[in-house]
Structure 1
Amino acid sequence: MKYVVQCFLLLLPAMVWAQEKEENLVTAHAFTIADCIEYAKRHNVQVKNALLNVQIQQQTNRNITSAALPTISGNAAFTDYLQIPVSVIPGEIFGGAPGSFVPVQFGVKYNTNVGLNLQQLLFDGQVFVGLQARKASIEFQQKAYEVTAQAIRANIYKIYYQLVAAKTQLEILDANIVRAKKFESDAKALYKNGFAEKLDADRAAVQVANLEMQRMSVQTQIDNGYVGLKFLMGMPIKDSLLLTETISEDQLKEQLLDNNYDYNNRLEYQYAMLGKRLGEYNVKRYKLAYLPTVALSGTYVHQTQRNQFDMFKKGTPWFNTSIIGLNISVPIFDGFAKDANLRKAKLELQQTENNIADFKNQVDNEVKQAYNTYKNAILMLDNLKKNSNLAEQVYLQTKKKFESGLASNTDVTNTQADLITAQTNYINAMYTAIIAKVDYMKATGKLP
């Protein structure tokens, strides 16, 4: 035993190290947008809880079903009368004086019985409405799950493609840094040879520093974006995530000409309609509460009575009792509780109908605003793309003039600043177009 303990103590550090290594293991993922959405379906807490609500409703339905099924219970009892109960009967029966009473013990010392009880509901309006509503209840929770998953999906689309677009932003910044460093090198060389002022070289250095700081800021935003995407998907933050898809202007314009929509395509509308169906069942339930309830009951008892503790002795008699009954309960007056419940259910149903009508107006409003924003975002994207290309041409021409001595260092610095501004505006327009497209597709119920 001592040897075993010593071996365990020697192996303990290795076991702890192995466990820590397993906990620190980093999993690498290379995901398309579809992969991210599928991963979120399995790991996002909100989506998982919404799916659990479906399973909870399934168990609730089983409970509702049990009310319509027979209930069978068994029982057994043993009674030892330490003192047998005494009753008094008129003494005249035994020849006594009129008005006298004689104490008599009825019964035996030991009583034993075993039995079965059966209860079967034959009719209860509220129970049968509950049975009818089971399917709608499951569909209601399933639709709630789909609505939750859609909200997560929309945010994943936005973050995913913004991070994809951010790669282009980094590429542009890297290209600008290369150009700025080349210009800085040229400016320093001209200064050393006496063809430029020190101020020109310093301006070029400041431009490089500004671009590098801007790149650091963008990189931090991208890193935080990846953290946010992982959290939204339910992925461990320590895991590595690579986005494999790209985004283009043509992809962003795909839904621009499709401005048709149907309320039934909106998951929220489908969810509300299912809520209305459940409200109608609730009204029906309270209407049927005015009807009688009918139930069948049955009892079977196997019993024996003894003065000696020999009831399990072979050959001793046991006696059987069987009972069957029909129970009808007729509601007469309950202090207007059923009427209050019925009126409340009708008012709640009216609220649901009002909310559905209002939701249609909300969809119209969302679609119109989302389409206007989407269309404007695409127009801005096109214009800013042209402006960015133009700014790049101006910069390159100015750079050539500078190299030929026909433009000043200030001219190059200004056109470079204009180019960076135009490129930044273009990237921001792409971000805006991505969000606008996702919002429009969600508003029209066409989000994949």
Structure 2
Amino acid sequence: MGVLLVIPVTHAQIDPFSTRAGLEDVSPDLNWMARDTDACNVTSLHNPVSIYEAVSRALCSDPTARESWANMLLNSAQVGVAESAWLPTLDASGTRSRTVQTQTVSGPTFPDAIGRTSDRYAELRLSWVLFDFGQRDANLAYYKGLLDLSKAAHTETLQSVFGQAAGAFYAVWTAESTLDAADDAEKNAERSYQIARHRHLAGAGTLNDELQAKAAWQEAIYARVNAAGTFKTAQGNLCVRMGIPVETDIRVDVDAGVQPDVKFTSSVADLLALAQAANPKLREAHAQIDADEANAKLALRRELPTISLSGTLSNDKALGAFPRDTRTGSRYIGIQISIPIFAGFGDEYHRQASDAQVDIDRASLHKAELDVAASVWRSYQDVVTKTANLEVAAATQESAQEAYDVASKRYGAGVGALLDVLNAQTTLATAQRQVIQSQADWRVARLVLAFAIGTLDGQRWNTHAEAP
């Protein structure tokens, strides 16, 4: 999409009615990200990758974003076609012919008779609709409604691409953080095993303690290998979203941008009100109603007369014609009235179908309003829950770390049991994973809430920005 957005308008892309004006202002922040100079340049890939770069590259390379942009261009062109109905049409036609006619008469004393004629004809025809009882107005309103619909759909597409790319980014963040935690857990397990082994060799511990510690160490290795596999899978998914080779070994910047905050005081009523005004799905539904209402008016207007101005200017020149050359010119101008009388009841059924479509659109709007409200409510409650979990997970990890340190020191000093160390070790590893998961869940929950409201592009971004 980024390539499409920066293509300059050439002489072949004239826009006399300015129907494409303002298209780049649809979701301007996300479009601005997609037009970043380095967005689709593979050689400029940074490592680690920021959330900004991940989203920019996804917006630039995703085919659905390019498709929705092209759909806006299509509908803007249709608006131009509707606008052109107010202007006259002027057609020119002409012919040029040459005729050679040979007459042969039998007999030695009669020569062939040869006749040559040429004809030149030119005509200029003018047609201009002067009054049509609102047909052109309704037709223009219909296509403007479709353009508004495509604008809302483009916003939804960009936000969807944004959400998918950010989700893939945070999946890599979670997998990388989990892998780091698994490495720490493996080191702790290995340290516990070495302590148990030395105690057994020194006669201060038992073989059973050594074997249990070794089993715990091998289990930690198993967990670390699985975490590495999950990390590679997440890396590949993010590469696909960014439009870069899937085997690219990328890392993500886990420290840039906003960090988790346990304070969340937004009112759900305010968020619901914001969603009613900003959500692109609701804007699509309203635009669809406007377009189909205009189409219903158009169906009614088509049963009314049309008054047009028409005229022709022609010139016909025949050279070599019998008995002499002829030149004929004509001029015509007049008012033409076209009155539809009977079309086999097709117009009536067309009007009924248009009215029924408007009723369908209104029902779809009500359904969309209910869906958006439910989505915002669920997402809001999820953010509240994930926000509360942040503090709990952090406190749990702190306690687990203290318990592990105490148990490890006591066992090393010969006054504690290995089972206490292994239990504390397992609890600490679980707590570390919970902290990582709670932070990832908090970030993703905020994304989902912003997408449900329809405000993923509601602020100006920079290269160090975090998702709203």
TM-score of the two chains, using structure 2 as the length reference: 0.77
One-letter amino acid of the structure 1 residue matched with residue 413 of structure 2: S
> Are 1:383 and 2:396 matched, yes or no?
no
User: Given the alignment, which residue of 314, 322, 326 partners 2:335?
Assistant: 326
- 1:208-241 CA-to-partner distances (Å, cap 9, x unmatched) read 2222221222222122212212222333435554
CA 1:81–1:252 in 2, change beyond 3 Å: closer, same or farther? farther
Q: Distance in 2 between matches of 1:248 and 1:281?
A: 46
Is the Cα–Cα contact under 8 Å of residues 252 and 434 in structure 1 kept in the other structure?
A: no
Q: Distance in 2 between matches of 1:126 and 1:390?
A: 75
Q: Show the 5 A alignment for 1:228-247.
A: 228-239=237-248, 241-246=250-255
Q: Give, in angstroms, the shift of residue 53 of structure 1.
A: 0.8
Is the Cα–Cα contact under 8 Å of residues 90 and 125 in structure 2 kept in the other structure?
A: yes
> Which position in structure 2 is the counterpart of 1:399?
408
Q: Give, in angstroms, the shift of residue 45 of structure 1.
A: 0.9
Q: Distance in 2 between matches of 1:83 and 1:321?
A: 32
SS at match of 2:126: strand
Q: Give, in angstroms, the shift of residue 184 of structure 1.
A: 1.6
Q: Distance in 2 between matches of 1:185 and 1:265?
A: 60
> Which position in structure 1 is the counterpart of 2:78?
60
Q: Give, in angstroms, the shift of residue 330 of structure 1.
A: 0.4
CA 1:414–1:239 in 2, change beyond 3 Å: closer, same or farther? closer
Is the Cα–Cα contact under 8 Å of residues 54 and 166 in structure 2 kept in the other structure?
A: no
Q: Distance in 2 between matches of 1:280 and 1:371?
A: 35
Q: Give, in angstroms, the shift of residue 27 of structure 1.
A: 5.5
User: Given the alignment, which residue of 331, 345, 353 partners 2:354?
Assistant: 345
Looking at CA atoms only, which structure, 1 or 2, has the larger radius of gyration?
Answer: 1
> Which position in structure 2 is the counterpart of 1:368?
377
CA RMSD of aligned residues (A): 2.9
SS at match of 2:46: strand
Is the Cα–Cα contact under 8 Å of residues 303 and 320 in structure 1 kept in the other structure?
A: yes
Is the Cα–Cα contact under 8 Å of residues 29 and 240 in structure 1 kept in the other structure?
A: no
CA 1:75–1:440 in 2, change beyond 3 Å: closer, same or farther? closer
Q: Give, in angstroms, the shift of residue 26 of structure 1.
A: 6.2
Q: Give, in angstroms, the shift of residue 258 of structure 1.
A: 4.2
Instruction: Indicate the percent of aligned positions where both proteins have the same amino acid.
Output: 19
> Which position in structure 2 is the counterpart of 1:42?
60
Is the Cα–Cα contact under 8 Å of residues 376 and 453 in structure 2 kept in the other structure?
A: yes
One-letter amino acid of the structure 2 residue matched with residue 379 of structure 1: A
> Are 1:29 and 2:54 matched, yes or no?
no
Q: Distance in 2 between matches of 1:227 and 1:375?
A: 31
Q: Give, in angstroms, the shift of residue 347 of structure 1.
A: 1.3
> Are 1:117 and 2:125 matched, yes or no?
yes
Q: Show the 5 A alignment for 1:14-25.
A: none
SS at match of 1:251: coil
> Which position in structure 2 is the counterpart of 1:70?
88
Q: Distance in 2 between matches of 1:310 and 1:192?
A: 133
Q: Give, in angstroms, the shift of residue 62 of structure 1.
A: 3.0
> Which position in structure 1 is the counterpart of 2:15?
none
CA 1:74–1:441 in 2, change beyond 3 Å: closer, same or farther? closer
- 1:307-327 CA-to-partner distances (Å, cap 9, x unmatched) read 45999xxxx663311122322
> Are 1:445 and 2:454 matched, yes or no?
yes
> Which position in structure 1 is the counterpart of 2:187?
178
Structure 1 residue runs without a partner (length 5+): 1-24, 85-107
Q: Distance in 2 between matches of 1:213 and 1:27?
A: 36
Q: Show the 5 A alignment for 1:94-243.
A: 111-124=119-132, 125-239=134-248, 241-243=250-252
Aligned length: 397
Is the Cα–Cα contact under 8 Å of residues 124 and 314 in structure 2 kept in the other structure?
A: yes
Is the Cα–Cα contact under 8 Å of residues 164 and 247 in structure 1 kept in the other structure?
A: no
CA 1:308–1:320 in 2, change beyond 3 Å: closer, same or farther? closer
> Which position in structure 2 is the counterpart of 1:301?
314
CA 1:245–1:431 in 2, change beyond 3 Å: closer, same or farther? closer
CA 1:433–1:309 in 2, change beyond 3 Å: closer, same or farther? farther
Structure 2 residue runs without a partner (length 5+): 1-41, 104-115, 458-468
CA 1:419–1:425 in 2, change beyond 3 Å: closer, same or farther? same
CA 1:303–1:38 in 2, change beyond 3 Å: closer, same or farther? same
- 1:190-209 CA-to-partner distances (Å, cap 9, x unmatched) read 22222222232222222222
Is the Cα–Cα contact under 8 Å of residues 191 and 201 in structure 1 kept in the other structure?
A: yes
One-letter amino acid of the structure 2 residue matched with residue 348 of structure 1: Q
Q: Distance in 2 between matches of 1:329 and 1:199?
A: 103
User: Given the alignment, which residue of 259, 262, 278 partners 1:265?
Assistant: 278
One-letter amino acid of the structure 2 residue matched with residue 74 of structure 1: A
> Which position in structure 2 is the counterpart of 1:94?
none
